[in-house]
Each structure stands twice: as structure tokens, then as C-alpha cells.
């Protein structure tokens, strides 16, 4: 069954990740919501467990509407007698207008008439309308002359958990608070033993949502009813099993204990509301609130490290902006003084006031607090003398406490540091716009400092290119030491936390070589597009992800819906993950390395890919190609430049062998299919004369993102299709 989860604008990607974790598949984000597929248990589970959604809708039909009769007819043709009985009260929520339906109340009335008439015609009785407390809600949205009609399985909005009956003057909704906590990295901080402070806690929404999240407590457990309870297809057994499981998890969390969380506010009235809300949520043992002005803030002695999160006034609701400047200045100074090493997140709807914190944000995230365009500003409260608690939100399973004291830089190191900062600044807009979590920051920009510096969700991967034999070893060592110092200074981390490798250029898939025994803690995850991928910067020469092929992977994700995908020399299967999440119905991924196919299986599991339709095959790609008798619609062919693996009968040379490989791929490519061929051999020349039968398009330039614009020869990429004019 297909469902649609609605959410506030800007939370679509977070909601998509959440629904995937809850077991939904076939996910597709759109404006203010996410389509997903699953059985009834997935829909019920989403109602119970979603921290981010507003409503879970069951789409019933969509029709063109050019008159009020079209609207009536679209609703009447649906089998309402199978969804609600004549004894069931219902209401219609209608949004949107067009030339024929220019009033939402009129639109709701026409659908109401159709539902009543249909049920009466089929059963002999008519149901009643209850606009205030209906048992069933029908959702209708008119957009671009098309009405989409569905059943609201959630009933009341899911952000109404049931604990917040009292609130302050301008509260943050529960699902927005949950999204802010996710962006702030709270799950990883809590798992690592961190604690939470809200110095302007209001009615306690951040505190309660943080506790529910840290304890893995279902946010819908306090609700008495959902929209599906009166639905004729409601399955009580499925729902009861989900309730029992969630109840058991809550009991386990309360037995094990939750992180300590403290809230403060100057307003006694809203603190009374916070106490009542905390009691209703059953979290009295872990959450404490007390009256305190931000000017008098001191960190409670029992709290050692973690996250500070708050939503201070913006000026729209509590006086003029000028009156709040001092409040923001005092807050920034107090928190920096009292909580060195903590992570600070501040939601503000006023950019000018945000600057008054006098702190430099490490990250910024866009949100809408109601209709207010807001930003979550994230800060690391660092001092030169204090220990820095660094929680990497991508790892989700460890905390590293480190002391970083900046050291004076040499003239050479200063030049490298300045280049790094310039690159970071130049790419900041692109990184933010596309939510890039792994990218190249520096690639021998200054030839005498020959190395690549990559960013992986807060971790630094430094790959030194081996110096030519003509370079004195001591001089090379000095330059590398300066480069390392520059990286350490720019990112304010000790050199011990930088993953360092030495490698040669143009050595084929040399990244397969293990450089030390791999440990489970070496792995962490990043997100790329819809995919989550395992990264390892310690155990192998490369990370498990070819950063330069990011545009090609995303292109594949956008072109595989309903298609069969073949990935040759698949490495860790990252392109295959993108293809499958993009809707590929069938995929085969082939590689010779047992190690990297195991890594690919980890990537599949991370993205809930378990179908037998998606095969991982260990073997010689050349031999496999010759034996293959299956057709594919999209093929990715990314061979090493050179390989003489013991598992191969011969030697692979991409310049010599590319024509034979491409021709065989074209033989199994469907008539309308596409072959993506890529190589990192800088001296490579495509033999277009030998491939004259095919349409060939060089997409190398289009397949280079801004982080590799300094090195446009990093790879060559071509798209081949059938149908070139014969010579």
C-alpha cells in the first residue's frame, strides 16, 4: 500500500530518513511530505513513532477537476462504504482552489455530499458530520486542477503528543523541536553519555522531546486515539502488538535511566506549564526546571558535557529587537564561560540578533517556526585552554574527548592554512545547498605541499602523495609536517585525530589494500542524496567512497526508476545503493574483492535493502560479462586503470581492453538503455572509431562537482546508447 506523510516545510529529508528507519520503502520526498510504501503495520507504526510528521494519509484517488460536479464525482466513485460505517462521524479537511472551486468550504461541502450520498446509496443509511471531534477525517487537496483525496489515519496532527496541554506565548511545535534536536546531533550526544540544558526552556518542549528521543520512547504512546481507530479496515491485533512493543521499550528506558536534562526560564508561569507537561509525559525523574535569568546562569554541577539547546525570543513577540541585543550578548558570553566543550544550538528568527551572540557558528540549518523563516545556529563552545568535547553526528556511537591547543604556524604552514580556509569559504554555499557531507577540500593546490584533504562529516582524511625521488627526504618530511600543522590548525583538532595515508597516483584500485587490521569502531556513516553509506578512514587506503563520482551516482539515482541496473567493478556498492533507492527493480553488482562486497552488504543493510532482486556477485567482471545472458537498462562500467590480481587469468588494461568491455556491455544493454563508462586513467583515449555504432556523449565536465573543479582530469566519463548512424 502507498501512504503519504505530511510534515512542516523543510523537514522532508529528515522525515524520509525516519520513515526508512521505521521500515517504509519506495520513499519519495516532495513539498511538505514524503510518499512511502508498506503494509498496514508500517502505517500504524508511523503514526505511533513519527517524531517529525504531521499526518499519515492513505491516498484513495486523484482526478482532474474543472467543475464542482467533477469534484463531487471524484469523491463519489470512491468506495467509502469500505472505510466508514453509517454510524461513523466524519469531517472533510479541504485545501486549494481553482477557477471552478474558489472556496475551500465549498470544496469540503461537495466532497461531504458525495461521501454521504455514496454511503447512503450502498448501505441505506447516511453517516453524520462532526466538524469538531470526528471519528474519521478525510483529507482533500486541490492543486493544478487535480484533487487528491485520502483518508487521514492519524486523526489529529501527530505533533500533538498528548503531554503538552500547557504552553508559553510562542512555543515550538513538538515535531519541529524533534527536528532541531536531530540536526543538533542530540541522539549521538545522548548515546555517548552527554546531557542537555535548555536555558530558556519555556513549557519544556525541547526537554521532553529530547528525553523521548534519548530513551527511544514512542512519541505517540500518550495519545488516546488515532484516525484509524474508527476505520473499517483497522486491524486491532497489529495495533496491539505495536503498542505492547512500544510500552516495553519505554519501561526498559525508564529502568535503565535517561540522560540528565535541566531547563531554566525567568517566567514562573511557563515553568509551571513545563512541570505539568513533564509530569504528563512521565519524565519527572530525569527532567528538572527552575527559575533563572540568563544573566544569572551557571552550569549545574552534576552536568559535565553535552548539548545546550534553546529558542530565545526573536523580537516579533517580546518587544523590539534593540531590547533583545543585550540578552543575546549575555547568553553567548555566559554559555561560553560556563560550558566550555559543550555544543550549543540556538534557533532564531532574527539573523541580526543571532550575530549578537558573538560566536562563530560551525553549522547553520534552515527551519520555519510557523511562518517565521528561522535558522538553527550550531556552535562548538571552544576555548584554547579547555578540553573540547567533540561529538560527530555521523558516527552515532562514540564521543572523543580531546584537548587542542593551537600552535604557532611556520610561513609555509600559514600559506597552506590560508588556502584551506579559502577553499572552505568558496565551497560553503554549494555544500550547504546540497547538504554535502563528504567532499574534497584540497588536492595539491600548492604543488610543493602535495596531498589531498577530504572532509567526511567532521572527520579529516589526509592523503599524502609520495614525493618524487628527486625531492630530498628531509625537505619532503618538513613540508608534510607543515601541511599537517595547517590542517590541525584550520579544523582545531589534534594531529592524532587526522586520518593520514601515503599513496601513489595512477595505481589502479590500489585502495583495495588493507593498511592495518580493521576494527568495527573504524566504520561510521555519512549521507549522500537519499543513501546512507559506511565510511572507513583507518583500515584501507581509500574510504569506501569515490568522492569524484558523486555526480554520477546521483545521476544514476535519478534515472533508474523501474529499471534493471548493472554495476561492474562495483567496489563497495555505493552506486548500486543509489540505483536501488532510486527505484531500480533489479540490480546486479559484480566485483572480485570479497572484502568490498562485504562492505557493499553493509551498505545494503544500512539502507534496508534486503530483496533477492538485488544481487552482489563475487567474480572476475570480464568472465562474468562473457557468461551473462541477462539484459539491463542502465549499466555502470568503472574499471580500474590496471589490474593484475591473482584472481584474474590475465591482466586488465583499461586503455587496451575498454573497447571489448564496452561492446559486450552494449550487447546486454536494452535498446533504449544507457551505459555509463568512466575511467581515472589520465592518459586515456576513447577509441571512438572502434565504437562508431553507438551514440557517445562525453559528460566528463558535467560529472565534476565544485570540489574537483581544480582537477578536471580526475576522471573521464561517457554515456553510450544504441542507435548511431551507420558509416
Query: What confidence tens digit (pLDDT) does each residue in 240-299 have?
Result: 999 999 999 999 998 888 999 999 999 999 999 999 999 999 998 889 999 999 999 999
pLDDT bucket at 401, cuts 50 / 70 / 90: very low
Residues 369 and 431 grouped into a single domain: no
441/539 same-domain check: no
DSSP letter for 514, please: B
Cα dihedral: 557, 562, 567, 573 (round 10): 50
What does the pLDDT average to over 691-714?
Answer: 93
**Residue 171: predicted pLDDT:** 75
Residues 391/399, Cβ–Cβ less than 8 Å: yes
Is the model's pLDDT at 495 over the cut of 50? yes
Burial (CB count <10 Å: 0-12, 13-18, 19+), residue 414: middle
| Ranges 90-94, 183-187, 524-528, 645-649: which has the least confidence | 645-649
Tell me which of 55-64, 199-208, 224-233, 487-496 is least confident. Answer: 487-496
- Assess if residue 312 is contained within a domain: yes
- How many Cβ atoms from other residues are within 10 Å of residue 293's Cβ? 13
For 400, residues 6+ apart whose C-beta sits below 8 A from its C-beta are 390, 392, 497
Angle (CA) 115-117-123 rounded to 5° is 100
Of 323, 285, 276, 306, whose CA–CA distance to 167 is shortest?
276
Q: Is residue 231 part of a domain?
A: no
3-state secondary structure (DSSP) of residue 589: strand
- Domain boundary at 392, 426, 454, which? 392
C-alpha Rg value of the chain to the nearest Å: 29
Local confidence band at 385 (pLDDT 50, 70, 90 cut-offs):
very low
Start-to-end C-alpha separation, the chain: 51
Write down the pLDDT at residue 405: 45
What does pTM read for this prediction? 0.56
Contact 461/451 with Cβ under 8 angstroms? no
Q: Do residues 386 and 418 both lie within one domain?
A: no
| CATH number assigned to the domain comprising residue 41 | 3.30.2130.30
Buried b or exposed e, range 20-36, using 16+ CB within 10 angstroms: bebebbebbbeeebbbb
- Residue 507 in this model has a pLDDT that exceeds 50: no
Mean predicted confidence (pLDDT) in 300-305: 90
Tell whether 571 and 676 lie within a shared domain: yes
Residues 602-633: tens digit of each pLDDT: 999 999 998 889 999 999 999 999 999 999 99
3 state SS of 420: helix
Q: Residue 513 domain-assigned?
A: no
Looking at residue 387, what is its pLDDT? Answer: 31
CATH number at residue 317: 3.40.50.150
Both 429 and 543 in one domain: the answer is: no
Whether residue 181 sits in one domain with residue 71: no
Residues 608 and 668 in one domain: yes
- Is residue 441 one of the residues assigned to a domain? yes
Mention every residue, 6+ apart, whose C-beta is less than 8 A from residue 660: none
Q: What is the CATH number of the domain that holds 452?
A: 3.30.750.80
- If asked whether residues 54 and 86 sit together in one domain, one would say yes
Lowest mean pLDDT segment, chosen from 40-54, 107-121, 511-525: 511-525
Burial 459-486, CB ≥16 within 10 A → b, else e: bbbbbbbebeeeeeeeebeebbebbbbb
Give the closest residue to 512 by CA, choosing from 533, 540, 535.
540
Report pLDDT for 493.
80
11-20: long-range contacts, CB 8 A cutoff, minimum separation 24: 11/52, 11/175, 11/176, 11/179, 13/435, 14/52, 14/179, 14/182, 14/183, 15/50, 15/52, 15/53, 16/530, 17/527, 17/532, 18/50, 18/51, 18/52, 18/53, 19/46, 19/50, 20/607, 20/608
For the chain, percent of residues with pLDDT exceeding 90: 67
* Structural domain span for residue 78: 2-152
Give residue 647's pLDDT. Answer: 54
pLDDT at 325: 85
Classified as helix, coil or strand, 655 is: helix
- Return the HEC string of 382-394: CCCCCCEEECCCC
Distance CA 480, CA 502 (A): 11
Q: How far is CA 3 from CA 33, 47, 226, 254, in A?
A: 10, 11, 16, 33
Same domain, yes or no: 296 and 431: no
Q: Has residue 232 been placed in a domain?
A: no
Give residue 496's pLDDT. 76
Residue 619 lies in a domain: yes
User: If DSSP states are collapsed to H, E and C, what string results for 457-468?
Assistant: CCEEEEEEECCC
Residue at 397 is within a domain: no
Q: Last residue of some domain: 121, 152, 183?
A: 152
State whether 289 and 204 are in the same domain. yes
DSSP string across 535-583: EESSSBSS-SS-GGGHHHHHHHHTT-TT-EEEEES-TTSHHHHHHHHTT
Q: Please, what is the average pLDDT of the chain?
A: 88
182 lies in some domain? yes
Return d(Cα 142, Cα 360) in angstroms, integer: 44
Which helix H or strand E contains 25, and what residues bound it?
strand 25-30
* Same domain, yes or no: 492 and 527: no
Q: Which region among 49-53, 182-186, 206-210, 318-322 has the lowest average model confidence (pLDDT)?
A: 318-322
C-alpha span between 484 and 507 (Å, rounded): 24
How many independent structural domains does the chain possess? 4
DSSP string, 48-110: HH-SS-SEEEEEEEEEE-SSHHHHHHHHHTS-GGGT--TT-EEEEEEE---SS---HHHHHHH
What pLDDT band is residue 727 in, cutting at 50, 70 and 90?
A: low
Q: How far is residue 319's CA from residue 538's CA, in Å, rounded to a whole number?
A: 53
373 pLDDT tier (thresholds 50, 70, 90)? confident
Same domain, 474 and 528: no
Average pLDDT over residues 47-66: 96
| Per-residue pLDDT at 617 | 95
Q: For residue 491, name the pLDDT band (cuts at 50, 70, 90).
A: confident
Amino acid at each position: 500500500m502507498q501512504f503519504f506523510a505530511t510534515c512542516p516545510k523543510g523537514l522532508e529529508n529528515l522525515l524520509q530518513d525516519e520513515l526508512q528507519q521505521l521500515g517504509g520503502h519506495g520513499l519519495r520526498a516532495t513539498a511538505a511530505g514524503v510518499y512511502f510504501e508498506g503494509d498496514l503495520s508500517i502505517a500504524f507504526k508511523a503514526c505511533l513513532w513519527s517524531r517529525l510528521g504531521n499526518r499519515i494519509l492513505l491516498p484513495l484517488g486523484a482526478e482532474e477537476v474543472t467543475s464542482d460536479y467533477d469534484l463531487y464525482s471524484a469523491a463519489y466513485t470512491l468506495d467509502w462504504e469500505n472505510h466508514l460505517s453509517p454510524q461513523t462521524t466524519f469531517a472533510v479537511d479541504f485545501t486549494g482552489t481553482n477557477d471552478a472551486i474558489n472556496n475551500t468550504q465549498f470544496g469540503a461541502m461537495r466532497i461531504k455530499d458525495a461521501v454521504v450520498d455514496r454511503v447512503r446509496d450502498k448501505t441505506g443509511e447516511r453517516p453524520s458530520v462532526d466538524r469538531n471531534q470526528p471519528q474519521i477525517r478525510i483529507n482533500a487537496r486541490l492543486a493544478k486542477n487535480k484533487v487528491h483525496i485520502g483518508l487521514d489515519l492519524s486523526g489529529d496532527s501527530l505533533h500533538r503528543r498528548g503531554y503538552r496541554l500547557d504552553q508559553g506565548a510562542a512555543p515550538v511545535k513538538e515535531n519541529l523541536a524533534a527536528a532541531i534536536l536531530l540536526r543538533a546531533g542530540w541522539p549521538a550526544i545522548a548515546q555517548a553519555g552527554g546531557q542537555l540544558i535548555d536555558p530558556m526552556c519555556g513549557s519544556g518542549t525541547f526537554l521532553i522531546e529530547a528525553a523521548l528521543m534519548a530513551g527511544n520512547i514512542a512519541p505517540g504512546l500518550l495519545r488516546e486515539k488515532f484516525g484509524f481507530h474508527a476505520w473499517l479496515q483497522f486491524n486491532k491485533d497489529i495495533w496491539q502488538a505495536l503498542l505492547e512493543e512500544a510500552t516495553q521499550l519505554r519501561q526498559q528506558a525508564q529502568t535503565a535511566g535517561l540522560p540528565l536534562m535541566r531547563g531554566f526560564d525567568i517566567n514562573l508561569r511557563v515553568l509551571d506549564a513545563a512541570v505539568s507537561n513533564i509530569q504528563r509525559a512521565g519524565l519527572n525523574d530525569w527532567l528538572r526546571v527552575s527559575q533563572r535569568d540568563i544573566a544569572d546562569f551557571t552550569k549545574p554541577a552534576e552536568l559535565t558535557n553535552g548539548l545546550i539547546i534553546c529558542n530565545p525570543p526573536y523580537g516579533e513577540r517580546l518587544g523590539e529587537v534593540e531590547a533583545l541585543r543585550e540578552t543575546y550578548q549575555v547568553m553567548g558570553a555566559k554559555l561560553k564561560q560556563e560550558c566550555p566543550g559543550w555544543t550549543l544550538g540556538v534557533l532564531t528568527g532574527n539573523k541580526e540578533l543571532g550575530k549578537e551572540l558573538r560566536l562563530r557558528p560551525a553549522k547553520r540549518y534552515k527551519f520555519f517556526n510557523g511562518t517565521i523563516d528561522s535558522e538553527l545556529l550550531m556552535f562548538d563552545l571552544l576555548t584554547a585552554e579547555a578540553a573540547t568535547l567533540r561529538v560527530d553526528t555521523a558516527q552515532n556511537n562514540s564521543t572523543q574527548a580531546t584537548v587542542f591547543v593551537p600552535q604557532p604556524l611556520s610561513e609555509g604552514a600559514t600559506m597552506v592554512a590560508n588556502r584551506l580556509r579559502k577553499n572552505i569559504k568558496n565551497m560553503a554555499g554549494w555544500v550547504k545547498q546540497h547538504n554535502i557531507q563528504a567532499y574534497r577540500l584540497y588536492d595539491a593546490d600548492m604543488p610543493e605541499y602535495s596531498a589531498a584533504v577530504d572532509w567526511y562529516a567532521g572527520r579529516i582524511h589526509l592523503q599524502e602523495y609520495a614525493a618524487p625521488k628527486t625531492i630530498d627526504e628531509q625537505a619532503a618530511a618538513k613540508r608534510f609536517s607543515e601541511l599537517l600543522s595547517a590542517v590541525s590548525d584550520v579544523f582545531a583538532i589534534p594531529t592524532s585525530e587526522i586520518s593520514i595515508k601515503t599513496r601513489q597516483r595512477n595505481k589502479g584500485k590500489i585502495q583495495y589494500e588493507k593498511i592495518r587490521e580493521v576494527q568495527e569502531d573504524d566504520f561510521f556513516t555519512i549521507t549522500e542524496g537519499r543513501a546512507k553509506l559506511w565510511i572507513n578512514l583507518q583500515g584501507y587506503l581509500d574510504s569506501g567512497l569515490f568522492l569524484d563520482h558523486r555526480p554520477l551516482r546521483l545521476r544514476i539515482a535519478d534515472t533508474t526508476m523501474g529499471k534493471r541496473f548493472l554495476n561492474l567493478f562495483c567496489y563497495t556498492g555505493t552506486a548500486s545503493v543509489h540505483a536501488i533507492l532510486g527505484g531500480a527493480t533489479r540490480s546486479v553488482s559484480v566485483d572480485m574483492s570479497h572484502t568490498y562486497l562485504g562492505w557493499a552488504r553493509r551498505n545494503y543493510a544500512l539502507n534496508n535493502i534486503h530483496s533477492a532482486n538485488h544481487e552482489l556477485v563475487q567474480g572476475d567482471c570480464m568472465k562474468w560479462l562473457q557468461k551473462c545472458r541477462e539484459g539491463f537498462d542502465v549499466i555502470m562500467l568503472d574499471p580500474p586503470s590496471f589490474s593484475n590480481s591473482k584472481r584474474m587469468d590475465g591482466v586488465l588494461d583499461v586503455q587496451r581492453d575498454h573497447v571489448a568491455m564496452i561492446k559486450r556491455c552494449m550487447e546486454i544493454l536494452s535498446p533504449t538503455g544507457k551505459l555509463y563508462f568512466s575511467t581515472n586513467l589520465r592518459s586515456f583515449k576513447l577509441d571512438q572509431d572502434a565504437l562508431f555504432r553507438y551514440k557517445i556523449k562525453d559528460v566528463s565536465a558535467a560529472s565534476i562537482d565544485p570540489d574537483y573543479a581544480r582537477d578536471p582530469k580526475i576522471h573521464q566519463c561517457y554515456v553510450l546508447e544504441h542507435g548511431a548512424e551507420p558509416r
